[in-house]
Amino acid sequence: MAVRYGPGRRLRTLFATLAGVGAVSYFGIHGILGERDIGDWFELSSQVARLEQRQIRNQGRIDLMEHRVRLLREASLDLDLLDERARDVLGLAQPDEIIVLGE
């Protein structure tokens, strides 16, 4: 014995199918062509990679500066470094010294 469904059930099934296809299509199109599409995702990924490389480069400079600061602490004072920084900041030199400007 076959059970026959009325036209209301078929319409609901058709509507649900079309709504599902529409939703998938909507999100798919916006994923490809939208404001934050897949191209933006690749661009952001490359930007993250560039910034990570920049962070690695800057970390070396930060480590060098921290080392120089540690040398200026009272417990481990490096007199040559102190003299260099004082002359650089104050712009002083002895009359018999030759000044070579760098950087």
17-76 pLDDT, tens digit per residue, is 999 999 999 988 888 887 788 888 889 999 999 999 999 999 999 999 998 888 777 777
pLDDT at 86: 81
Number of domains in the chain: 1
In a domain, 101, yes or no: no
Is the pLDDT confidence value at 10 over 90?
A: no
Tokens 């481990």 -> residue: 76
In a domain, 22, yes or no: yes
**Distance separating alpha carbons of residues 51 and 20, to the nearest angstrom:** 40
Q: Residue 93: CB partners within 8 Å, gap ≥ 6?
A: 87, 99
| Structural domain harbouring 64 | 9-90
Distances (CA, A) of 33 to 6, 18, 25, 103: 41, 22, 12, 48
In a domain, 2, yes or no: no
pLDDT at 72: 75
Is the pLDDT confidence value at 9 over 90?
A: no
pLDDT at 88: 79
Contact criterion met (CB below 8 Å) for 38 and 32: yes
Is the pLDDT confidence value at 1 over 60?
A: no
What does the block give as tokens for 12? Answer: 């609901």
**Which of 75, 74, 92 lies closest to 83, judged by CA?**
92
Whole-prediction pTM value?
Answer: 0.42
Distances (CA, A) of 25 to 16, 36, 41: 14, 16, 20
pLDDT band at 5 (very low <50, low <70, confident <90, very high): low
